[in-house]
Amino acid sequence: MVFFREWVRTISEEDNLALDITSISSYNQEITAVRSGYDRDHENLEQINLALMVGSKTYRPVFYCILLGNINDRASLRHFLSTLDDSFGTDGYKIVMDEGFCNKANITLMYDMKLKFTISLTKSLNIL
């Protein structure tokens, strides 16, 4: 985390940080985060999830976190933001996310954390 603390200081406050999660299939039984989960490629393999934040202007990776393979994007956002906050705080960042992260709980969480964010809304979202 020392590297990330120093690295994140090089990010401009004007830059938006794009966040996405991808799954990586694995045959490895030694990696404790490997789990059965939803696989977009329909491979019958267990997987891990990799959350990655990238500067939208610089295209530089800013921070990453390995997540359990059986947790979807919506459920894993809380863990990712907690890890990010514990590592070097969340002040000054503007995070951009796709609709895979969109639900009432995540929007409430980000408001409570006073995060600046842009998120694609889903048609099924009911905030009221």
Q: What is the pLDDT along the chain (128 residues), one digit of tens a residue?
A: 778 777 777 776 677 888 988 888 888 778 778 877 666 666 777 888 888 988 888 888 888 888 887 777 778 888 888 888 777 777 777 889 988 888 889 999 999 988 889 998 887 777 65
Domain that holds residue 14: 2-119
Does residue 60 lie in a domain region?
yes
Q: How many domains does the chain have?
A: 1
The enclosing domain of 111 has a CATH number of 3.90.350.10
The residue assigned the tokens 């895979």 is 100
Q: How far apart are CA 60 and CA 58, in angstroms?
A: 5
Give residue 86's pLDDT: 77
Strands (DSSP E) found in the chain = 16-26, 46-55, 61-67, 94-97, 116-119
Does residue 70 lie in a domain region?
yes
Global pTM reads 0.75
